[in-house]
Amino acid sequence: MFKSGILVMLITLVSRVLGLARSVVVAYYFGVSAGTDAFFSAFKISNFFRQLLGEGALGTSFIPMYNEKVEKQGEEEGKKFIFSILNIVFIFSVIVSLGMIVFSKEIITVIVSGFSDETKFIASDLLKIMSSYFIFISLSGMICAVLNNFKCFAVPASTSIFFNIAILGGAIFFGKTYGIKAMAYGVLVGGFLQLIIVLPQFFKRVGRYRFRIDFKDEYLKRIFYLMVPMLVGIVARQFNTIVDQFFASYLETGGVSALENATRVYNLPIGVFGISISTVIYPALSKKIVNKDFKAVEEDIKKGLNILLFLVVPSTIVLTIYSEDVIRLIFEYGKFGGRAVKITAESLFYYSLGLYFYTAIHLMTRAFYGMKNSRDPVKFSISAIVINILLNALLINSMEYRGLALSTSVAAMVNFSLLLYTFRKKYISLSLKPVCIFLIKVLISSMIAVAASFWLKNIIVKLAVFGAVYLALWGYTLYKKKLEVF
């Protein structure tokens, strides 16, 4: 299982690096401006519903329901279940996409009310172009959830590579001619490619497609019952990003872009480590829970938390201590000047404080979903959102964009703490002593790596020395014990 996680991490790493390259290209050609603020805001809105379907509530609910249905009724009935879900996803996504086209102006006016009229107009225009992206990404996300359950991880993980390539191509080849609109068309083409790339593997697994919905299927009713609280939680989390956009629209021009660029950097370890590990663990975890093998469940969760500590803690230290150096290395080209570097680096610093919590939340929520408990993660997510909004309002005047980033980190810490405490209380009393001991070892190793690299001037050399020293300190133990070290 964890070997599959390594493969997924490598593929996701390529995808995330391309995503970072995408941000670099946008910064190079368009800088930090009203146009980039408009693009990032419109893309956030068009992307809002993506987490609800496929890789979000529906995809997560699907796995335990599908496994139970196949066990009780056979694979043929399981396939009918897949077709019903996908057909519902298609109808819903078309309706939502049309709604975004018709009401684009009103949506933009409400969500980023602090923008100037010109920026609102640009954002509205871009939202119309990108609205159909939701259809492609919803179907692709749901198919990826199906393929993951069949232990096919590589192809679903690679879809974002094609998405990022499409946007990169749009900016590089058409940016000068069509301006920021080239990015919007790149998003649309990228969504289409994400769907096309998973279809061959999907048809290989399920055979001939059927355009029907079995509304009498009891599992179809149950999945939506299970999905509703998840849906509320994911809407809350996505709403959090929209709230941040709302507050950021009142900051100086470029504030939205700075937060977006910082988010792109700290999302690199979240996607590569957090989402990859939780995606691979979840199907096996779900089956172990069905078989009531709770000792194995406990071991998998602790191992997952420790792997995240090993990978994320050094990432956090790099992105906080070397935040400005990292931003200069990645973004300081073309129209991306000194002021843009400063506000992006400061945003990255405060976002990175919550990095471990962001990643571990993905693992713990799936542990709850495996227990068929989607209510508690929802309650905790909503609590975190309320905290984030309150902190945004309290800190925006004194800390500006820094306050928005810090609020997000604090909210993530609260969310993870509630998840961990409640899971231990309700289900399995996870022993945290081994996790704490492992954390101390990781912190000591990371501090030694910082001490070895801090005084070096070149950031590339700094990062290389940091990584080499950190891995050298763990090298012998990993060689001898392999995954047992976790």
Residue-wise pLDDT for 177-201, tens only, equals 888 899 899 999 999 999 999 999 9
More confident residue, 271 or 422: 422
Tell me what the pLDDT averaged over the chain comes to. Answer: 83
- Please give the structure tokens belonging to residue 88: 């519902």
Asked whether 415 and 381 are in contact (CB, 8 A), the reply is yes
Residue 54 confidence (pLDDT): 46
Residue 332 confidence (pLDDT): 74
Q: What are residue 310's phi and psi, to 5 degrees?
A: -60, -35
- Number of helices (H) and strands (E) in the chain: give both, helices first: 20, 0
Q: pLDDT band at 141, cuts 50/70/90?
A: confident
- Please give the structure tokens belonging to residue 230: 């998840």
Q: pLDDT band at 473, cuts 50/70/90?
A: very high
More confident residue, 368 or 236: 368
Nearest to 342 by CA among 334, 331, 354: 331
Percentage of the chain surpassing pLDDT 90? 25
Residue 470 confidence (pLDDT): 93
Q: pLDDT band at 350, cuts 50/70/90?
A: very high
The DSSP code sequence of 52-85 is GSTTSHHHHHHHHHHHHHHHHH-HHHHHHHHHHH
Q: Residue 208: count other Cβ atoms within 10 Å of its Cβ.
A: 7
The highest-confidence range among 22-31, 267-276, 300-309, 447-456, by mean pLDDT, is 447-456
Asked whether 289 and 69 are in contact (CB, 8 A), the reply is no
Please compute the mean of the pLDDT values over residues 67-73 and round it to a whole number: 84
Asked whether 107 and 241 are in contact (CB, 8 A), the reply is no
CA distance 277 to 289: 18
Please compute the mean of the pLDDT values over residues 114-135 and round it to a whole number: 89
Q: Is the pLDDT reported for residue 313 higher than 90?
A: yes
The DSSP code sequence of 317-344 is HHHHHTHHHHHHHHH-STT--HHHHHHH
